[in-house]
Structures are given as structure tokens and as C-alpha cells.
């Protein structure tokens, strides 16, 4: 049986009374004060997440860009130093290996941030293709996942909180950019204007040794603003309100980025011959038979993964991929794939919850609009 790992902050989570459980091979905090409380704190104030379970790979050298152009759908050549890009890796069969972030440090240095549950799978996939480019595994392609801790400080007062911990003008940094800087006395921290909540904020990458000091400093800096630690349960409800995909639910090895409405990260530029390009171009031109949509329940009920989605006549037209009770909207919300003819906003649908067929309506993403 695989040994469950702890993040560098596991002791703090236990001290704070977090409900812990295994996730993607790590013992992770699921909730502290409760999902709804943590969720509302992030939407209205500021919360801090330990997301050190995420994977980080370095891609270096003269073949770094050609490799990334081959294995990802977005145009990596459009990046400049200090820019972050959201992308995905096609699997050669029209599905998605994983979605990821690409950080450009310079023309020959990139960091990939991948989903925790896919670290080994992604590493094997990227290594296989890196070898075809003659890259040195372990040097030009390096797995730093076990060496790096990651905190996400999210919410409308994240800027005020983090301004106390750095001398840089972080309020001027643009969305999806990053800098290496001194954060809470930690030299060379990677400070990124990114996140997975839809409420703005930052993600900070440091070595495991520096994680405890950063965690304490962030909680202290945010105390006057009502900061609270938040767990993976609130991270999930926050991302779902904003219509952000979760790998393994809304996208996987069987879904194409065109079906998942990720056409905006699928770039058919002249100099980019990426895996599955021809198939995705065809899908974009000719259309797909199903599309990912967001919906809101019109009757009382909580949609869950794998519940059937039906049309008004009761015919099954798709399946729920993610669902929850929205803490901000006080209604059941979800995402799922439906036949394309039913994918337009305001289309009335039904969600089959146990023995009942409950009314819902398709909405334009994000599901929750502030």
C-alpha cells in the first residue's frame, strides 16, 4: 500500500483542528471551521489554502520550448518572462492528460504546475516526449514536486494582506504574471497572481523548509482582515461557482478541450504542431456532439457527479460532472456534459436526483456572478 505523504504544514492543520483525509497521496485538510464559513470568508475577505500537494516540473534548455509547443494546446511562444499560461496536454486520442499552468522564467526555463492526482502520470507522459527531443531526464526535465510548498492566498483583501509581507508593488502586478521576490523574509519565493477560486489573490511557491514561516506570516498579516485557513472542500465549491474545471470530473482522458469549452486555450497557430491538433481543428470547424455547461437548480436539490441530465420530456441528454450547494447563491449548482443542441444558456433541463426529476436551467459561465 502506498504511504500517505504529509505536507510541510500538516502539524499546523492538526493544531487548528482541521478535518484531514487522504487526497492524491497526501494527508490534506478538507475543512477547518466548515465549508460554508471558509467559502464566504474567501469571497468576502481572505483565506489561505495549503496546496502543497500540487506537482511542479522544471523544463529547461534549448529544447524546452519545442517540447512544450508539442505537448500543450496553448501557444507557449506567446509567453514572456514573468508570464503564466493556462493550458492542457492532449493524450493523442482526443482526450486530456491533464490541465496545467506554464510559467516562463526565461526563453529556456519553464515551470509546469500540474494536478496532484496526476503527478506520476504527467511525469511519465512528458518524459516520454522529452526523450524524443533528446532531453536529459532529471536535468533538463526535473520533478521538484516533493521539494516545493505552495500557499494560495485568495479573496478581495489578499492584496492588503500580502502587501505587508513584501516590498514590491504587488497591487500593480497583472493577472497571470509572477515575480521572484522576498516574501515574509523568504528570498526567491515565486509570487504569482493566480488562483483557483475566482476571487483573486496570489499563489506563493517556497521550499518546504520555508513553508512554516510563510504560513505563520500570512495568518498574522491577514488577522486584521479576518483571514481564515480554508480546506480542499471550500476550494472545490469556490471553483465550481466560477465554472472552473476539475480534472477527473469535468475534464479527463475522454473529454476534448473543444467539448470542455477550452477552445480559448487551444491555439492553431502556424508554427505549433501539437498532439491531436488535426482532430481538434476538425472539431472546432464541424462542431462536437456534446458540450460542458453550467446550470442552476430551480427546485430544491443538490446535484452530484454522475447524476443524469434530462430534457423536459425526460430523455437523458447528459451527465453531471460536478455539483454542490452554492454557499453564495443558496441553490444547487453544477456542471455537466449535454448534447450540443441543449447547451445554450436559459435552456430548461432536469436533473435526476435519486427518484426525482428536478428542474434546472443552463446558465452562462461563471455560474456565480459577483
**Pairing mode, strands 109-114 and 331-339:** unpaired
Cα–Cα distance for residue pair 117/53, rounded to 1 Å: 9
Cα–Cα distance for residue pair 147/318, rounded to 1 Å: 41
Q: Which structural domains are found in the chain, ordered by start? A: 5-52+147-241 (3.30.1360.120), 55-143 (3.30.70.1400), 289-363 (2.40.30.110)
Cα–Cα distance for residue pair 352/310, rounded to 1 Å: 7
Q: Positive or negative CA dihedral for 208, 209, 210, 214?
A: positive
pLDDT for position 370: 86
Cα–Cα distance for residue pair 136/291, rounded to 1 Å: 39
Q: Positive or negative CA dihedral for 288, 294, 298, 300?
A: positive
Between CA 314 and CA 159, with CA 366 as vertex, the angle to 5 degrees is: 155
Q: Look at residue 265 and give its three-state secondary structure.
A: helix
pLDDT for position 8: 98
- 126-151: per-residue pLDDT in tens? 999 999 999 999 999 999 999 999 99
Residue tagged 502587501 (cell numbers): 163
**What backbone torsions phi and psi does residue 195 show, to the nearest 5 degrees?**
165, 175
Low-confidence residues in the chain, pLDDT < 50: none
Q: How far is CA 269 from the centre of its chain?
A: 25
Distant-in-sequence, close-in-space partners of 66: CB < 8 Å, separation ≥ 6 = 133
**Pairing mode, strands 148-154 and 141-143:** unpaired
Where does the chain have alpha helices with state H?
Answer: 10-15, 35-44, 64-71, 119-132, 158-163, 211-221, 232-241, 277-286
77-84 LR contacts (CB < 8 Å, sep 24+): 77/269, 77/271, 77/272, 78/267, 79/104, 80/104, 81/105, 81/106, 82/177, 82/178, 82/179, 83/176, 83/177, 83/178, 84/176, 84/177, 84/178, 84/192, 84/193, 84/194
**From edge to edge, which strands make up the β-sheet containing 26-31?**
5-6, 26-31, 19-23
Q: Positive or negative CA dihedral for 94, 99, 105, 111?
A: negative
**What backbone torsions phi and psi does residue 359 show, to the nearest 5 degrees?**
-70, 140
pLDDT for position 1: 60
Q: Look at residue 264 and give its three-state secondary structure.
A: helix
Residue tagged 450547494 (cell numbers): 325
Contact call for residues 349 and 360 (beta carbons, < 8 A): yes
Amino acid at each position: 500500500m502506498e504511504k500517505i505523504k504529509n505536507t510541510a504544514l500538516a502539524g499546523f492543520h492538526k493544531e487548528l483542528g482541521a478535518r484531514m483525509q487522504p487526497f492524491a497521496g497526501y494527508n490534506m485538510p478538507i475543512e477547518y471551521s466548515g465549508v460554508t464559513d471558509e467559502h464566504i470568508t474567501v469571497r468576502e475577505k481572505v483565506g489561505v489554502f495549503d496546496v502543497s500537494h500540487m506537482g511542479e516540473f522544471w523544463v529547461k534548455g534549448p529544447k524546452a520550448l519545442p517540447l512544450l509547443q508539442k505537448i500543450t494546446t496553448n501557444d507557449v511562444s506567446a509567453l514572456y518572462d514573468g508570464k503564466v499560461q493556462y493550458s492542457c496536454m492532449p493524450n493523442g486520442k482526443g482526450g486530456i492528460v491533464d490541465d496545467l499552468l506554464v510559467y516562463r522564467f526565461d526563453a529556456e526555463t519553464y515551470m509546469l504546475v500540474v494536478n496532484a492526482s496526476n503527478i506520476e502520470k504527467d511525469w511519465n507522459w512528458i518524459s516520454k516526449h522529452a526523450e524524443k527531443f533528446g532531453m536529459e531526464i532529471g536535468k533538463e526535465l526535473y520533478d521538484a514536486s516533493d521539494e516545493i510548498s505552495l500557499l494560495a492566498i485568495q479573496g478581495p483583501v489578499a492584496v492588503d494582506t500580502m502587501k505587508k509581507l513584501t516590498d514590491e508593488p504587488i497591487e500593480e502586478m497583472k493577472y497571470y504574471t509572477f515575480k521572484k521576490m522576498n516574501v515574509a523574509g523568504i528570498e526567491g519565493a515565486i509570487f504569482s497572481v493566480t488562483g483557483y477560486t475566482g476571487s483573486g489573490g496570489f499563489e506563493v511557491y517556497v521550499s518546504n523548509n520555508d513553508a512554516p514561516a510563510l504560513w505563520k506570516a500570512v495568518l498574522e498579516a491577514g488577522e486584521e482582515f479576518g483571514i481564515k485557513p480554508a480546506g480542499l472542500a471550500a476550494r472545490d465549491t469556490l471553483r465550481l461557482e466560477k465554472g472552473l474545471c476539475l480534472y477527473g470530473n469535468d475534464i479527463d482522458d475522454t473529454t476534448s478541450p473543444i467539448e470542455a469549452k477550452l477552445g480559448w486555450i487551444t491555439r492553431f497557430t502556424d508554427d505549433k504542431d501539437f498532439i491531436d491538433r488535426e482532430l481538434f481543428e476538425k472539431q472546432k470547424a464541424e462542431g462536437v456532439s456534446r458540450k460542458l455547461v453550467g446550470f442552476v437548480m430551480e427546485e430544491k436539490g443538490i446535484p452530484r457527479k454522475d447524476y443524469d441530465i434530462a430534457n423536459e420530456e425526460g430523455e437523458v441528454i447528459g451527465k453531471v460532472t460536478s455539483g454542490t450547494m452554492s454557499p453564495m447563491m443558496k441553490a444547487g449548482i453544477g456542471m455537466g456534459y449535454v448534447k450540443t443542441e441543449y447547451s445554450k444558456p436559459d435552456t430548461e433541463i432536469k436533473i435526476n436526483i435519486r427518484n426525482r426529476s428536478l428542474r434546472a436551467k443552463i446558465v452562462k459561465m461563471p455560474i456565480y456572478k459577483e
